[in-house]
Structure 1
Amino acid sequence: MLPKLTDKDAQKIKEIDQSVANKWKFEWLDVLVQISKGTEQCDVRIGDCFEKVTLAGQAHCKVCDKVTNYGSRGVVSLKEHIKSTKHVKMHFESRKCYKVDTMLKQYAGEPQPDTEKSVHEPVAVPMCDRISNAEATTLAVAAEHGMPLSYVPILIGLAKSLAKDPKALAEVKLDRTAAAYKTKYGLAEGFHQKLMTKLRQNSFSINLDEATSSNRKKVLTMLVSFYDDEVGQVKIEHLASVEIKKTDSDTVFKEVVKVIEGNEIPWKNLVSVLMDSCGVMRGNKNGVETRLRLEKAPHLLDVDGDSCHHMHNCSKKLCEPFTRYLESLFNDVHADFQYCSEYAEMLAQICAVIVVTYCKPARFIPHRWLSAYDLSVQTTMLLDAYVLFYYSFMKNEDRQTYKEVVDQILSGRGVHKEGQRKLKDIQERIAAKKMTQDGKERKKRIIEKVLLKDTTTKLQLSFYCAVMHILKQYVCTFQSSNTMVHQLHEEQFRTFKEFLACFMKSEAVVNLTPKQAKVMRLDDPQVTLKPKSCYVGAQAELILKNSSKSDSHVQIFLSQVKDAYIQCASQMQKTLPLNNRTLKSLAALDPALANDSQGVQLLKQLALDHFKHLLSESEKADVARELIKYSVDDSLHSFRSNVVEWWSKVSARKCYPILSKVAAAGLSIFHGPAVESSFNSLGDIVDSKAASMEIGTYSAYQTVRYALKARQTTALEYFNRKDAHNNKVVDRHLCVNMRLSAQRYKKVQLERRQKKAMGVGKKLQTVKAVKEQLKSETKLNYENHIELELARAKKRKMEERLTELAKKKRLQ
């Protein structure tokens, strides 16, 4: 804090302001400045706000805790600061607070020298200090509980929102148990009831999958997608998450039926079910989808399995001929940098020297095979850095052989002498690190692929980056939140044709139809290109161009490329629904086909073949009439936009009620694995430390999260109330659910105790109880063992004594 100067320091102030145009004058302190805020007005004395400090041409504002320059304009600068918005706001806020001792003296009737002035004196703690103290408290709470700093603005917003009703805030009490049952039976129940109302009235689709939490609980999660005509949007919300004992088709089928029928949702409203393509979910005989279609919903559409999973499986087939050469390299590199933070720091320093963007080596995920594409891109970018890093672990005699490779990297990237010196120091520190035997073997494998067989590594990396990009692009498109179901068939067929063009002659692919694509022969030498003419990526083509035909690694690579293309294309041909009638008909929802004869015909199939169960007999008869009017309606082009907005505008005109109803059902169909994103938070909510946490509480969390996300709002915005006492802005149903949550919780607990008393279900033992039981059993076994040994010893002594007595009798 800067020293303050008074009129006693006039000579010192004169020396300080010697070079200033407008020197300090104590007469300024008596000048009055009129300020106002709303209807309030007052005169402020400059001396009550400013004081001179030991800086030339500078004065300190006590209200704002800020230094102001008066050297250029004199007292005018001080007046303008007092009239500034920030200063006026802080001044009037400070006037609302009074000194406690002054008010106590007034209450006691003690005389005050200047009553009006003393009453309006600011509080002892300035507003800026109070703000700083509140900020420090918030940050300390975040640090104490390990919260990310990104949560701090949310905490501030929550505090401001709750502070609008201080009386209610003072009565809020939430312990861990109360928070759990109020979330489950109060907050989530309100959103769940609203969702059930929508599902009972509208067509919807289900996306379900199973996962295992970190405390080894199997969780089946179901999401629903439906078109909400009130807001004109397709919403994805959480239907239920249930715990299952085993993952078989019978268990999953019963849980789905229990959720649908338990919530009294009509089966006719269920349009489709999207699952992965495992036998449990989509088996032809006993799969969940097959049983739903046979026993509950015969109208269920066949939209095939999750096409994004298909692409992952296809990419696995693409990589098979390369015998996990790159995948094992990815795993080794990730393991190296995962267990040693110093390696990561030194790799980052090497990247800085050769001007390469550093990123920590990621992990290869086997069940998401397209992660090989991401790692291939990352490894290609960091390959030179890996060469310089692992060069440090080579023996001295081997370093001389590959020193030329290092020099080429440094000269090619323009590393100057100072950078080379830094690089040498880093490599010496790397070489000095001690390693385990596993670490030595791992680095030996990495050195072999990065330095000894670098040509093979670069060829495969180039192939992975170039070809897998086609599959990755499809997955990224249909994992987005935008509704793309009308483009699903077209994009699948386009991706398949683009992949075929990588290794087949263009004339055999360009006029291909979906029906022909499902039966064509993919290894026919008449239509396939020669191995050297196949697409392998720019870097691989350059390496092949500069290599001789006799190189064994080149011949092996070209043979692997041909096998990879044929295996992957065969998998795509087998699994992708290239000739699926339902997906073809859904293309009629595209606004581009509004006045197209083919689009109108597909829309007719969609209404009378696929969604006929949603239409009454009179509506079926009126479909043709609406289609005729729809096919020649030029006004539809005036509001062309994305497919959901387009159909919401068509529905708003109320000219095509039947077609709008069909479109709403079609737009609700899932086209990507939305349910998997819900499992990302599973480890945060249900972890190994919270083994007793019910899946029902996790389900409540997800219900609330998806409900807020579907409404495109935050919790603070959704519950925000400008007037805390206005009854109209409070959700009465939600408040009732919150108050009844304790009653519902007690009822559920009572039912559980009654079942246990009746012998229904076995009592689950905690880890602590099992340990205590084992301890007591061990102690009891030990005591029994000691008692038995003592009895045996006593028996042996008696036998020995009897033997001695018998000997004495014989001797006598």
Structure 2
Amino acid sequence: MASPPRKVAKKWYKQSFKEEWLHEKDFKEWLQEDSKEKGVSYCACCKTQIKNANRSMLMAHCKTAKHLNNMKEAKAATKIDSFIKKQIPRESDEVAKAELLISAYIAEHNVPFAHADHLVEVCKRAFHDSSIAKNVKLHATKASYLIQEGIAYHEKWEIVDQCRNEKFSLIIDESTDISVSQVLAVVVRYFDVEKNDVCDSLLDSIVIEDGSASGLCKAVKTTLNDKKIPISNIIGFGSDNCSTMMGNKSGFQTLLKEDIPSVFVMGCVCHSFALCASHAVKMLPSYLESFLKNITFYFSRSSKRNRDFTLIQEVTKTETHKIPKLAQTRWLSRGNVIKIILEQWDALLLYFQSESKEDILDGANNIYQTFKNRGTKHMLLFLNYVFTVPALASTRNSNSNRSGLNDAIWIRVLNNKTTINSTILLHHCSTLG
């Protein structure tokens, strides 16, 4: 005779606390989540945990004699709302939070304040079933106020507290904005213990009337004094290399050292490299800069020329890169232009060969003749290497046998103490190209 089938034990599932229970009529007066143990139900009236409680267990608890008696005593003594901590946030608080989040998004992504109305309207249409989205009211004026007087104010005073209690470096730069007002940006660099990282933060933007070194120094000191930041907390100073900032006699750094003799001063590295590069290229023929300008200008304002050049690139099987624009203010910007010209050399040579026969006014023939000059490519290969030296500095230890000119020659060129003869130049250009 076959034995009866064994009953399979019903699997028991652990039930965690659900916030939706807080809205139910039977539970809202006494139920809350335990503050000490997350996910556990807690009876504020009986002051006891109800572990792994599902809805039926909560219903059973609220019908027990102990719970009913405690509820009766609590209602007799005082309103039950006075001893139970409400965990349901008010909708108005959630709406305010949403408005702050949208304002923070506008500030973080540099969105114009005028777009706030449209952004809110999109959110309302996207989340039409949300009562919070329906009640959000955020126009340009309110968004500007929340960012400037709310978020920015709070963040600024957090930075001020860091500078009051920690050492920091000062980085400043002066410029003229669209309203033709002189503005001094004051940035501080400090170590944030909580983030365990070095942070750069904008401390203030000061509108100044006197752009001299003494005027800038006075403005910075006034700002630090107003915020009660000790000037003795400054351990470093950084800026560009203009005489107003870095002058040895009456520059900002000289005036700062009168108050803090031990301050470490460093000029802008990018500006220093630009000055070194512009000085170094004086050793090379002057026609090279005109050559670069003529090529970039030739393609800058003509869609037809760009289309024709694209066809040449396809014929020569060259990658379709556009010739970048040439920035006039920094010599280091030539590095990217030189790199692209060398990559596109065959395509450019073929293009200007055909253009030189048709285009006389825009100097296509002069560009073509410079391309044909044997020394042009050698000089560009040399410059291409020179412009990549700073990037290679970090890999010096791992790649000590790299090809090309060594650092000693590079340093002598920058200091204008040597002339590279054609034999050395041609040898190294052949190894590079």
Give 3-state SS (helix, strand or coil) of 1:440's partner. coil
- 1:285-324 equivalences in 2 (<5 Å): 285-294=249-258, 296-301=259-264, 303-324=265-286
Alpha carbons of structure 1 residues 219 and 383: separation in structure 2 relative to 1, 3 Å: farther
Conserved 8 A contact 1:503-1:529: no
- Give 1:440's match in structure 2, choosing from 361, 385, 391: 361
- 1:54-65 equivalences in 2 (<5 Å): none
Q: Give the Cα–Cα distance (whole angstroms) in 1 for the partners of residues 296 and 416 of structure 2.
A: 37
Alpha carbons of structure 1 residues 210 and 473: separation in structure 2 relative to 1, 3 Å: farther
Instruction: Name the TM-score, length of structure 1 as normaliser.
Output: 0.34
1:97 matched residue in structure 2 = none
- 1:485-504 equivalences in 2 (<5 Å): 498-501=406-409
Conserved 8 A contact 1:350-1:389: yes
1:716-735 Cα shifts (integer Å, max 9, x gaps): xxxxxxxxxxxxxxxxxxxx
Alpha carbons of structure 1 residues 163 and 290: separation in structure 2 relative to 1, 3 Å: farther
2:298 matched residue in structure 1 = 336
Q: Give the Cα–Cα distance (whole angstroms) in 2 for the partners of residues 529 and 334 of structure 1.
A: 29
Cα distance, 1:195 vs. partner? 1.2
- 1:605-754 equivalences in 2 (<5 Å): none
Answering whether residue 149 of structure 2 is matched by residue 241 of structure 1, we say: no
Aligned residue type for 1:277: N
Cα distance, 1:314 vs. partner? 0.7
Q: Give the Cα–Cα distance (whole angstroms) in 1 for the partners of residues 385 and 223 of structure 2.
A: 45
2:240 matched residue in structure 1 = 276
Q: Give the Cα–Cα distance (whole angstroms) in 1 for the partners of residues 344 and 307 of structure 2.
A: 14
1:265 matched residue in structure 2 = 229
Q: How many residues align?
A: 305
Conserved 8 A contact 2:277-2:332: yes
- 1:763-802 equivalences in 2 (<5 Å): none
2:381 matched residue in structure 1 = 462
1:706 matched residue in structure 2 = none
Q: Give the Cα–Cα distance (whole angstroms) in 2 for the partners of residues 361 and 214 of structure 1.
A: 30
Alpha carbons of structure 1 residues 326 and 243: separation in structure 2 relative to 1, 3 Å: farther
Conserved 8 A contact 2:123-2:133: no
Aligned residue type for 2:145: Y
Give 3-state SS (helix, strand or coil) of 1:265's partner. coil
Query: RCO greater where, 1 or 2, for CA within 8 Å and sep 6 or more?
Result: 1
Answering whether residue 194 of structure 2 is matched by residue 230 of structure 1, we say: yes
Q: Give the Cα–Cα distance (whole angstroms) in 1 for the partners of residues 189 and 178 of structure 2.
A: 28
Alpha carbons of structure 1 residues 308 and 541: separation in structure 2 relative to 1, 3 Å: same
- 1:319-718 equivalences in 2 (<5 Å): 319-395=281-357, 431=358, 440-451=361-372, 453=373, 455-473=374-392, 498-501=406-409, 523=417, 531-532=421-422, 534=424, 538-540=428-430
Please list every run of at least 4 consecutive aligned residues from structure 1 whose deviation after the TM superposition is greater than 6 angstroms.
none
1:337-376 Cα shifts (integer Å, max 9, x gaps): 1111121122122112211112221122233211122211
1:297-345 Cα shifts (integer Å, max 9, x gaps): 33322x3322332121111111113354222222222222111112112
Aligned residue type for 1:467: V
Alpha carbons of structure 1 residues 218 and 522: separation in structure 2 relative to 1, 3 Å: closer
Alpha carbons of structure 1 residues 202 and 390: separation in structure 2 relative to 1, 3 Å: same
Alpha carbons of structure 1 residues 346 and 238: separation in structure 2 relative to 1, 3 Å: same
Alpha carbons of structure 1 residues 529 and 368: separation in structure 2 relative to 1, 3 Å: closer
Q: Give the Cα–Cα distance (whole angstroms) in 2 for the partners of residues 164 and 205 of structure 1.
A: 49
Conserved 8 A contact 1:253-1:292: yes
Q: Give the Cα–Cα distance (whole angstroms) in 2 for the partners of residues 366 and 265 of structure 1.
A: 40
Segments of 5+ residues of structure 2 without an aligned counterpart are: 1-14, 16-110, 112-118, 397-404
Cα distance, 1:468 vs. partner? 2.6
1:208-251 Cα shifts (integer Å, max 9, x gaps): 22234455444322221111112211111111223334632133
Segments of 5+ residues of structure 1 without an aligned counterpart are: 1-38, 40-146, 148-154, 396-430, 478-486, 488-496, 505-520, 544-812
1:167-204 Cα shifts (integer Å, max 9, x gaps): 44333333333332332112211111111111111111
Q: Give the Cα–Cα distance (whole angstroms) in 2 for the partners of residues 254 and 536 of structure 1.
A: 55
Aligned residue type for 2:254: T
Cα distance, 1:292 vs. partner? 1.6
Q: Give the Cα–Cα distance (whole angstroms) in 2 for the partners of residues 246 and 313 of structure 1.
A: 27
Alpha carbons of structure 1 residues 466 and 201: separation in structure 2 relative to 1, 3 Å: same
Give 3-state SS (helix, strand or coil) of 2:322's partner. coil
Alpha carbons of structure 1 residues 300 and 314: separation in structure 2 relative to 1, 3 Å: same
Aligned residue type for 1:348: T
Structure with the largest fraction of helix: 1
Q: What is the CA RMSD across the aligned residues, in angstroms?
A: 3.5
Conserved 8 A contact 2:280-2:416: no
1:640-691 Cα shifts (integer Å, max 9, x gaps): xxxxxxxxxxxxxxxxxxxxxxxxxxxxxxxxxxxxxxxxxxxxxxxxxxxx
Q: Give the Cα–Cα distance (whole angstroms) in 2 for the partners of residues 215 and 386 of structure 1.
A: 43
> Which has the larger Rg?
1
1:193 matched residue in structure 2 = 157
Q: Give the Cα–Cα distance (whole angstroms) in 1 for the partners of residues 203 and 292 of structure 2.
A: 38
Q: Give the Cα–Cα distance (whole angstroms) in 2 for the partners of residues 357 and 187 of structure 1.
A: 47
Conserved 8 A contact 2:294-2:367: yes
Alpha carbons of structure 1 residues 529 and 457: separation in structure 2 relative to 1, 3 Å: closer
1:625 matched residue in structure 2 = none
Q: Give the Cα–Cα distance (whole angstroms) in 2 for the partners of residues 173 and 532 of structure 1.
A: 72
1:183 matched residue in structure 2 = 147
Q: Give the Cα–Cα distance (whole angstroms) in 1 for the partners of residues 284 and 210 of structure 2.
A: 36
Give 3-state SS (helix, strand or coil) of 2:204's partner. strand
Conserved 8 A contact 1:327-1:364: no
Give 3-state SS (helix, strand or coil) of 2:293's partner. helix
Cα distance, 1:533 vs. partner? 5.2
Structure with the largest fraction of strand: 2
Cα distance, 1:284 vs. partner? 1.2
Aligned residue type for 2:381: S
Alpha carbons of structure 1 residues 167 and 200: separation in structure 2 relative to 1, 3 Å: farther
Aligned residue type for 1:376: I
